Amino acid sequence: MDNKDLIIAEISSAITSVLGTSAAAVMRKAGRQASLHIWPELPSGKSVTEAGEIMAKGVSALGGFGDFKMVPGDDANSGVIEFKNCAFSSFVEASGQPCGKQAICYFGFGLVEETFFRLTGTRSKIDLVARDDGTKICFETATPR
């Protein structure tokens, strides 16, 4: 983890410990706005598979979030997501909230929601389904709303 990621993780831990789950709305919005600034030009009309491939490259380049993978879900417009080796999960204990309830998690949810929308045209909500600490994978869904 580089210094930038450490700083982000400490900010996330502080926000999470002070605001708890109230951080959700603020951090989701920050993530959605970040998508517009990080990737100002994205193609549109992509399938879930194509969007997953584009987002995998983009998220990998950000650092800290680990490896991103998205495949189509049961619904043609939904996605099944895996985040593997997210560096921010090591800060769970300091904030007092589990993975999926961290401020940085909500930021990531918003980032993926907006990027997925911009690529596919489908509004979705990202939720953590489960975290496997043994494999260091967060399993998430992108559900159309």
DSSP state of 121: S
Number of other residues whose CB lies within 10 A of the CB of residue 53: 15
Residue 106's contacts (CB-CB under 8 Å, 6 or more residues apart) are: 23, 24, 25, 26, 27, 28, 31
Pairing of strands 79-84, 137-144: antiparallel
Which residues on adjacent β-strands are paired with residue 59?
none
Percent of the chain with pLDDT over 90: 54
Q: Tokens at residue 121, please?
A: 């045209």
Q: Name the residue ranges covered by the structural domains of the chain.
A: 3-144
Tell me what pLDDT residue 96 has: 67
User: Alpha-carbon distance 25 to 29, whole Å?
Assistant: 6
> Is 104 in contact with 8 (CB distance < 8 Å)?
yes
pLDDT tens string 61-92: 988 788 999 999 998 899 999 999 887 777 67
Q: What is the dihedral of CA 11, 15, 21, 23, to 10 degrees?
A: -90
Length of the chain measured in residues: 145
User: Alpha-carbon distance 114 to 65, whole Å?
Assistant: 16
Tell me what pLDDT residue 141 has: 96
Q: Tokens at residue 144, please?
A: 């159309």
Sign of CA dihedral 8, 11, 13, 15: negative
Residue numbers in the chain where pLDDT is lower than 70: 1, 5, 20-21, 91, 93-96
**Domain 3-144, CATH:** 3.30.1380.20
Tell me what pLDDT residue 94 has: 67
